[in-house]
Amino acid sequence: MVLNCLVKKLPSLSDVSIEHGVEVEEDEGWKMAPSNFLSIMEEGSSRYKAVWQNRDERWDFLQDHDPELIKEKKREEVEEEIRVQVDELMQRKLEDLRLAVDGEKSGKPKKGRKSDKKKKTAAKKKIPEMEEDLTPDRTIDSLYRELVEEGLLIKAKTVNLSDYVGEYSYLGTTLRQVDVEPMPSLADVRQLIALYGILPLGSQTVHEKAPLVKALLLAGPAGVGKRMLVHAICTETGANLFNLSASNIAGKYPGKSSLQMMLQMVLKVAKQWQPSVVWIGDTEKIFSKAVPKAELETSPKRLEKILPKFLKALKAQDRVLLVGTTNRPFDANLKLFCKVYQKIILIPRPDYASRFVLWKHIILQSGGEITNALNISCLAKLSDGFTQGHIVQAVQAVLSELRLLQMTRKPLSTDEFVTSLAMQDPVYKEEEETFKAWYAKTPLGRARSRALAGSTKAGKGKNKRK
């Protein structure tokens, strides 16, 4: 009891520091920026409280329209229209009075040298290269038709974001405690695609309030679902999909002027029919350090100089997103690469939890049945290092039409899938480390390492003060 009373009477650390003028350092770490959507939510909450919270709706059993609310809204619109008409009438009367008093009309623009100078300066202003309309005499429908015929505007596959199956990394915090930074999980990738791709493209309000992202890069080994995520963005937002991959535009619109006209057509149609996604597959070839001889015919570096101008022509109000996918980002010139793609999402191979869910989901989706003879946990352990594409190929190779007919008398076994999986090459540890080393050199990777270093220093300083 005496000890408790003494502890209660002792001043706190903050009190001692204030009395004796000792400055105590605050923990430095990442602080969340103020939300741009908080004001909208507060406005909606206040509107609900003012209109609907205390409203008696017992009489409105069918929940029909409320005539009084409609009258109030329409009354404001009518007042605005009448106010404009009254202002026009008052201006006319004022002009008549001025004519009667002064004998001349007021408000005539005076001709002078300033207007001539303004015209000359306006004529001297140069229009940016990508904003110049090279097809002024053509309609949007004709441009749309030409892009479809040339294969630049393609139909997106119907893929939902929920079809990209993956679990959270439950061991992430445990690995961080032993100074090991874990790879992002597939659930993290799915969340980032929703934040940077789907929400800004699907909602004009979110696009205006959220930080502007013009270009997004999906990097990872072959088979992790990069192309699937591109189609998922288009499906969830109803966006048009333009394919500007080097292999797709090879031999089309030759020459610098024709290439500029092609990109101007894509930009014009994409802005007119928003939202739109411009996809560039194997985008590292555009910024490659040395082009292989086998790919010289496709001219993969055609878009290297004009792509930054294309992004510059995209304004803040345009719901157009450039998405690049790459299996080998380390082959590209890092400086030019990161100058175009401001956001980079590194997609790893799936971990155990994601593989367990994937095997179960794909087998059931392909028409198979899971019995006691099929050990999903064993398959998830044995498939360590394999991607989602490898697992899909293994399941499709086993579950043929004949095998599905035999399933009633011969259930699926683990050995069948292991044999099919062993015929494919996994993603080795060296390749994964190469991706990690490349990402650490990017601006986002460097910022992440600085943030981690700052948090560890803050933690050590806190322990010392304790």
Mean residue pLDDT of the chain comes to 81
Question: 9 pLDDT exceeds 70?
Answer: no
Confidence band, pLDDT 50/70/90 cuts, at residue 138: confident
Using CB atoms within 10 Å of the CB of residue 370, give its burial: 0 to 12 exposed, 13 to 18 middle, 19+ buried.
Answer: middle
Token pair belonging to 241: 């999909």
* Predicted confidence (pLDDT) per residue in 253-273, tens digit: 888 888 888 888 999 999 888
Q: What is the pLDDT of residues 201-212, one digit of tens each?
A: 988 888 888 888
Nearest to 419 by CA among 448, 445, 452, 397: 397
pLDDT of 229 above 90: yes
Task: Specify the pLDDT at position 100.
Answer: 81
pLDDT for residue 239 is more than 50: yes
Q: If DSSP states are collapsed to H, E and C, what string results for the chain?
A: CHHHHHHHHCCCHHHHHHHHCCCCCCCCCCCCCCCCCHHHHHHHHHHHHHHHHCCCCCCCCCCCCCHHHHHHHHHHHHHHHHHHHHHHHHHHHHHHHHHHHHCCCCCCCCCCHHHHHHHHHHHHCCCCCCCCCCCCCCCHHHHHHHHHHCCCEECCCCCCHHHCCCCCCCCHHHHHHCCCCCCCCHHHHHHHHHHHHHHHHHCHHHHHHCCCCCEEEEECCCCCCHHHHHHHHHHHHCCEEEECCCCCCCCCCCCHHHHHHHHHHHHHHHHHCCCEEEEEECHHHCCECCCCHHHCCCCHHHHCCCHHHHHHCCCCCCCEEEEEEECCHHHECHHHHHHHCCEEEECCCCCHHHHHHHHHHHHHHCCCCCCCCCCHHHHHHHCCCCCHHHHHHHHHHHCCHHHHHCCCCCCCCHHHHHHHHCCCCCCCHHHHHHHHHHHHHCHHHHHHHHHHHHHHHHHHHHHHHC
Proportion of the chain above pLDDT 90, given as a percent: 20
Q: Is the pLDDT of residue 14 over 50?
A: no
Distance from C-alpha of 116 to C-alpha of 18, rounded to nearest angstrom: 67
pLDDT score, position 330: 87
pLDDT digits (tens, 9 = 90+) for 74-101: 888 888 889 888 888 888 888 888 888 8
pLDDT at 3: 37
pLDDT band at 241 (very low <50, low <70, confident <90, very high): very high
Rounded to two decimals, what is the model's pTM? 0.73
- 157 with 279: CB under 8 angstroms? no
For the segment 419-423, the average pLDDT, to the nearest whole number, is: 88
Whether 27 has a pLDDT exceeding 60, the answer reads no
Scored b (16 or more CB within 10 A) or e, 324-337 reads bbbbbbebbeeeeb
Q: Is the pLDDT assigned to residue 313 strictly greater than 70?
A: yes
338-350 pLDDT per residue, tens: 888 888 999 988 9
pLDDT of 278 above 80: yes
pLDDT band with cut points at 50, 70 and 90 for residue 276: very high
- Rg from Cα positions in the chain: 31
| Residue 126: per-residue pLDDT | 56
Residue 12 pLDDT grade (very low, low, confident, very high; cuts 50, 70, 90): very low
Percent of the chain whose predicted confidence (pLDDT) is above 70:
82
Burial of residue 128 (CB within 10 Å: 0-12, 13-18, 19+) is: exposed
- The candidate with the shortest Cα–Cα distance to 215, out of 347, 308, 95, is 308
| Segment of 148-157, 249-258, 292-301 carrying the highest mean pLDDT | 148-157
Query: Which of 309, 360, 300 minimizes the C-alpha distance to 331?
Result: 300
Pairwise pLDDT comparison (353 vs 135), residue with the higher score: 353
Over residues 323-334, mean pLDDT: 88
Give the per-residue pLDDT at 234: 93
Q: Say if residue 279's pLDDT is above 90.
A: yes
pLDDT at 456: 61
pLDDT at 105 over 60: no
The predicted model gives 415-419 an average pLDDT of: 88
The pLDDT of residue 242 is 93
Q: What are the tokens at 249?
A: 């535009």
Q: Supply 215's token pair.
A: 């270009």
